[in-house]
Structure 1
Amino acid sequence: MIKLIFDALTPKQARIAAVLYQEGSRRGINVVITCRNYFHLADILRIYGVPYVCIGRYGVTPYEKLVYGLERQRELVEYVKDVDGMLSFPSPDLARVVFGLGKPVIVMNDTPHASHVNRLVIPLSEVLIAPAAIPQEIWKSYCPRRVVTFDGVFEYMWISKFAPNEEVIKRLGLRRGEYVVFRPEEEHASYYLWNTATIRMRLVEEFRKRGYVIVNVPRYSDQIINGVFNLTEAVDHLQLAYFSAGVVTGGATMATEAALLGVPALSYFPGDYYLDRYIRDRGAPLFRCRDLESCLVAVEEMLKIGRTSPPKFEDPTPLILETATEVVSLREN
């Protein structure tokens, strides 16, 4: 049995790891999952019921990122010694260890703007797996040896398997269509160079004026908002999104998930994100804004449109596992 290791660093990556673990088990592939201590990360893995081990923590300052990363690398060595390779989103800690032990690195990615981790990981990889909607020339500065693409987005790996369960929101005291989910920006990430907290708080007030309950899902403790429903222990975010009036985020994942479910979603991430137009062209109700004025206009549009029929995409799960198997087999031969 092939044994691969996945280092989940975000809730999105935890979902991908869980799907690969479950599908890999059916294909004779053992996916070992590691993670770090970070808001909602281990919670998502517990929701999926997959085995995992959390190692180390998230650093906020450059000094912490370096020191905590070095500490994680030393601990990860013990989990990498008997694996056949890495199958993961970019994890500098895991990639350094796997590469150092002479094992192949297979990396998935849909965030070319995350230049710090991409510069550290993609050059070490045997193959990069990415959505075809991202222009291949965008990846060239990271020197991938080979790029494999698919007609879809990674979020479809779990959206395609989603089953609504209204009891999840009822247990929280929430009512269908009467709340809006907020996911703050990734302000402590190395690539996040903007200050968008003012826009977030103005949007919170806009929806509150319209009578909606605000469900805030913070990434960090300093993003807890007074006077709203702060969800600091994870429930299934897909259930939250599905029964909401809309989702607003400073990132991309929760907006993409909601839009793929047919729920109107707004992202105020100020950088370029190549998948937005691709998703919208397929009929998903996904909106983007870069300043307060355009964000307020987008609020009007998303509430006017409301729910739509969920679009269809390619599930990349089989391609990912087949590509990883091929890379490991070639290395062994």
Structure 2
Amino acid sequence: MVDVWLDAVTPKDSLLVYSLLPVLREKGYDTIVTAKKQTQTTEVLEILNIPYICIGKYGETLRDKLVEEQKRSLRFIELFDRIGLPKVLWTHGDVSAIRTAFGLQIPVVYSNDTPHAIHVAKLVCPLVDWLVAPKPFGKSWSTFGLQKSRIILYDGVEEVAWLAKPAAKRPDFLDILRDKERVILFRNVEYKASYCKDLKVNVWRLIEELSKIATVVYLPRYREEKEQIEHLKDIWMPPKTVLTSHLLPYVDIVIGSGGTICRESALMGIPTISFHFWDAIAKYLRKRSFPIRYIADTKEIIKKTKRIIKNPDKFKVNTKDKLTQLQSPIVPAARCIEEYFAK
């Protein structure tokens, strides 16, 4: 019988699973990993050599999202009919996994740092047993129906969990970047997500202008993005899914929507511009002198990028000591999980 069920529905979830699994296995727990087929989630698990069971896929329209969530719940039930019920679920917030666990009376440990995903928070917060969250957000999740006493805060960010841990071998296809004089890493907004609204920047125009300044490494979220940029000259898209930590040594500046990749790059001391999100985590990192800033105007982004590209080393920051001062979510998450085996 499985002790701990871990569910991943984003690449970030996969990286957190990678960081959490060794801790759980060291304690002797049997684990199972399930993953949804969407936005490089399963590809990252494969890069990290993590066995998983693929359950469900991404729904693009509102109707499709609802249908796929119901299908996923049914497939979980079929899985547990075969292998037995796990004793606890760890998740980063998938609705179908949490609803299934709640319905089957499986305790839920919920790690999260995206309260802006309001639709998900409203659905899952009343159902979880513990929430492990970064201190900058405080106990704001309580507004969604979770008792403050069930919210565990840590003084750090989730990305610390895997940046401090060596991950897989760097792929050979990245060698092409060695000969590039200047490199910009670009990550688009998650425009199919329910919470993605009010984007102020014309992303495709921005990319075109950036490609005139330096080589742009474009990390897509969705397959159709390739068609939007294939006519541009100085843009390179990795042929396979790649970990950000493998790319960053080649990069001079990162421009993105403000999510995981922007946090990773800032934590590693690379100048970072967020053009969409400027949440409590970004402000927290900025306050601690990590090189991240918010600019939501295309002309200003181009102006700042040109300045940085002229002398990237001037803007890079040695963050080695700063990183050691940030806490990881893995320890509190593992403690919450362990509670269900101490009884």
Q: Please give the TM-score of this superposition, normalised by the length of structure 1.
A: 0.90
Q: Is the 8 A contact 1:288 1:298 kept in 2?
A: no
The aligned counterpart of 2:318 is: 309
The answer on 1:260 being equivalent to 2:267 is yes
| CA RMSD, 1 decimal | 2.3
Gapped regions of structure 2 (runs ≥ 5): none
Offset at residue 308 of structure 1 (A): 0.9
Q: Is the 8 A contact 2:2 2:32 kept in 1?
A: no
Q: Is the 8 A contact 1:262 1:285 kept in 2?
A: yes
Helix, strand or coil: the match of 2:30?
strand
Q: Is the 8 A contact 2:107 2:128 kept in 1?
A: yes
Q: Is the 8 A contact 2:118 2:195 kept in 1?
A: yes
Deviation per CA, 1:83-139, whole angstroms, max 9, x where unpaired? 011111001010011000011111011111000111111110111110011132x22
The answer on 1:194 being equivalent to 2:191 is no
Cα gap change, 1:177 to 1:88, in 2 (>3 Å)? farther
The answer on 1:134 being equivalent to 2:137 is yes
Instruction: Write the mapping of 1:1-333 to structure 2, written as runs, cut at 5 A.
Output: 3-80=3-80, 81-136=84-139, 138-145=140-147, 146-162=150-166, 168=172, 170-175=174-179, 178-195=182-199, 198=202, 200-210=203-213, 212-224=214-226, 225-226=229-230, 227=232, 228-231=235-238, 233-269=240-276, 271-300=277-306, 302-303=308-309, 305-310=314-319, 311-312=322-323, 313-326=326-339, 328-329=340-341, 333=343
Q: Is the 8 A contact 1:20 1:321 kept in 2?
A: yes
Q: Is the 8 A contact 2:134 2:157 kept in 1?
A: yes
Q: Is the 8 A contact 2:258 2:282 kept in 1?
A: no
Gapped regions of structure 1 (runs ≥ 5): none
Q: Is the 8 A contact 1:179 1:245 kept in 2?
A: yes
Q: Which one is further off, 99-108 or 188-197?
A: 188-197
Cα gap change, 1:74 to 1:301, in 2 (>3 Å)? farther
What is the count of residue pairs matched by the alignment? 326
Calculate percent identity across the aligned residue pairs: 27
For the residues of structure 1 that align with 2:173 and 2:67, how far apart are their CA atoms?
Answer: 39
Amino acid at match of 1:45: L
Amino acid at match of 1:142: F
Q: Which one is further off, 306-315 or 82-91?
A: 306-315
Q: Is the 8 A contact 2:5 2:32 kept in 1?
A: yes
Q: Which one is further off, 86-95 or 222-231?
A: 222-231
